[in-house]
Chain A
């Protein structure tokens, strides 16, 4: 699936919920199902510090695809992190670097990306794209 197909699928998943409670319960469920990041990757290098919650992001290449693993100490942020990973992980660096992420806004969760200082989510998204650009440059140089 392309990045946009995954985004569209998430948007239609969330269309089922018309109440904030069911929407956030779903995010909490996503967080619970999301595999935790192995402790060895919860390093200072991989941490993205928000004012309130911490996010860890690990990136690696696997057969020309850029993959992400991530985690957070707050459960709702963890759920949101799992969605960003679902959308962006496993695509080429080019696709990730040029991706236009619209699903958060369409689902009505854009305020979490706007809270730049508090949850580290916006910084994580920026970092994911930066990995895309970095690995893209690396493959061009090789």
Chain B
């Protein structure tokens, strides 16, 4: 079924025709998975905040690597090893420009955002934080940006402080300022909330943290697919992201860190690649970035990730953001017509994440019955249980939009939600 043949429901046709410089029908053709039929219906994929789908050129890059130049990288002297090493390091350069890092060795390949945060907590945190020091996170953090700091605080006797939020899902910046003292040694805050879509004023957060001498990590898992990231302009000390949320492969992320900090940090994992010289008496460690990349890395996915970044940059991040904002506006207006539906997360600055609850209906029932209609949303606490507690709910249903989604698909979601309400009413 072609994208144009999706049933046009047209409840809200007055705002359906969004102006975009992107050819969405052609973009949809780049993603083979969008042709999948689920429970007899063409897939409507609204779970992009969990992971995005992959364009054909990323899939081709993956199989191309395995078919033509699979080899273990660095140190190999044969042709395949050289080619694989060059492709691997090319992605590092590409990633450097993607986040505008000053040096390519400031880009460390990780398993994902979670891995990057754990790396910093385990190395920088263990070496430089001591008893009585304070770490600040926020109420809207993903468990990945809570638990590593809790583990660190427990081990070192540090104190974890939490920036509160208002009912719209915006950080209370006045309260943040009150938390900052000379005891604050680290601030780790999410750039964009996965549950609410809130875009946080991280530049201001970073400046204020630096003013008291604290280092700052930004969890960029949800931000990096939606808008341009410039780590030098932001001034953050660390920035962690995942490639699978930027149309790239799973199991791969990067940690950006300022060179002098990365140099001062002890290694994370021991093994091959990260060493300079090993004797049973003493091991000396390799230089950046290899010091933090023990073992054979995820070569194929690193190689393919470059193509995902190329794809995003070819479409243009500002074009993507404009289009996704249009989808969010359309969906927000459309769901507001549904009786008993309440949007969770009404921040002024949001990415295309729409979290909601419906009176008297459990989010899991919404998810199961939408799935039967071929519509994939995420339901539950989204790994942000403290945030759900803040709103006094156990979970939400979350539709998150990517560049290949359409207003026609949003109409199907609205129709699907009406059916859910009818069935459970």
Write the residues of chain A forming the contact surface with B, with a CB cutoff of 8 angstroms: 20-21, 24-25, 28, 51-53, 73-77, 112, 118-119
13 A–B contacts from the bound complex (CB under 8 Å): A21-B419, A24-B423, A28-B424, A51-B380, A52-B367, A52-B379, A52-B380, A53-B362, A73-B394, A74-B364, A76-B364, A76-B365, A118-B380
B14-54 interface (Cβ within 8 A of A): 39
Q: Which residues of chain A are within 8 angstroms of B368 by Cβ–Cβ distance?
A: 24, 76, 112
Q: Provided the pairs A52-B380, A52-B395, A118-B380 are in contact, do residues A28 and B423 lie with their beta carbons within 8 angstroms?
A: yes
Residue ID in chain B nearest A77 by CB atoms? B364
Given contacts A21-B423, A24-B423, A75-B424, contact A52 B372 (CB under 8 A): no
Question: In the complex, are the beta carbons of B423 and A74 less than 8 A apart?
Answer: no
Asked if B369 contacts A24 (CB within 8 A), the reply is yes
Task: Return the contact of B39 from the options A20, A25, A76 (Cβ within 8 A).
Answer: A20
Q: How far is the CA of A21 from the CA of B373 in the complex (A)?
A: 9
Contact B372 A20 (CB under 8 A): yes
Q: Count contacts on B: residues with CB < 8 A to the other chain.
A: 17
Cα A21 to Cα B394 in complex, Å, equals 26
Compute how far the CA of A57 lies from the CA of B367 in the bound complex, rounded to whole angstroms: 23
Contact with A along B358-399 (1 / 0, CB 8 A): 000011110111001000000111000000000000110000
- How far, in angstroms, from A20 to B39 measured CA to CA in the complex? 9
A24 touches B372 (CB 8 A): yes
A118 CA / B39 CA spacing, docked (Å) = 20
Interface residues, chain B, with chain A CB atoms under 8 Å away: 39, 362-365, 367-369, 372, 379-381, 394-395, 419, 423-424
Say whether A118 contacts B423, CB under 8 Å. no
Given A20-B39, A51-B381, A76-B364, output 7 extra A-B contacts at Cβ < 8 Å.
A24-B372, A24-B423, A51-B380, A53-B362, A74-B363, A74-B364, A76-B365
**Across the interface, which residues of A come within 8 angstroms of B364, CB to CB?**
52-53, 74, 76-77, 118-119
CA distance A51 to B388 in the complex (A): 13
Nearest CB on B from A109, distance (A):
10
User: Which chain A residues lie closer than 8 Å to B381 at the CB level?
Assistant: 51-52
Residues of A within 8 A of B419 (CB): 21
From B39, B362, B381, B423, name the one whose CB has the most chain A CB atoms within 10 angstroms. B362
- Closest residue to B383 on the A side, CB-wise? A51
> In the bound complex, what is the Cα–Cα distance between A22 and B130 (angstroms)?
61
Residue of B nearest to A20 (CB): B372
Is B423 in contact with A25, judged by CB distance below 8 angstroms?
yes
Measured in the bound complex, the distance between the Cα atoms of B364 and A53 in whole Å is: 7
Residue among B362, B379, B380 making CB contact with A73, cutoff 8 Å: B362
A73→B380 CA distance, assembly (Å): 13
Closest-by-CB residue of A relative to B39 is A20
A116 to chain B, nearest CB (A): 14
Q: Kindly provide the distance from the CB of B211 to the nearest chain A CB, expressed in whole angstroms.
A: 40
**Are B423's CB and A52's CB within 8 A?**
no
User: In whole angstroms, what is the CA distance A121 to B226 when docked?
Assistant: 37
A112 CA / B39 CA spacing, docked (Å): 15
Closest residue on chain A to residue B361 by CB atoms: A75
Q: Shortest distance in angstroms between B376's beta carbon and chain A's nearest beta carbon? A: 13
Min CB–CB distance B52 → chain A (angstroms): 21
Chain B residues with Cβ below 8 Å from A118 are: 364, 380
| Residue from A53, A73, A112 whose CB has the most chain B CB atoms within 10 Å | A53
Chain B residues in 8 Å Cβ range of A20: 39, 372
Q: Which residues of B contact A74 (CB under 8 A)?
A: 362-365
Distance (whole angstroms) from the CB of B387 to the closest CB of chain A: 15
CB distance from B379 to the nearest CB of A (A): 6
In the complex, what residue of chain B is closest to A80 when comparing beta carbons? Answer: B368
B379: chain A residues within 8 A (beta carbon):
52
Choose one: A28, A52, A112; the contact of B363 (CB below 8 Å): A52
Contact of A75 among B365, B380, B394, B395 (CB under 8 A): B365
Q: How far is the CB of A84 from chain B (nearest CB, A)?
A: 16
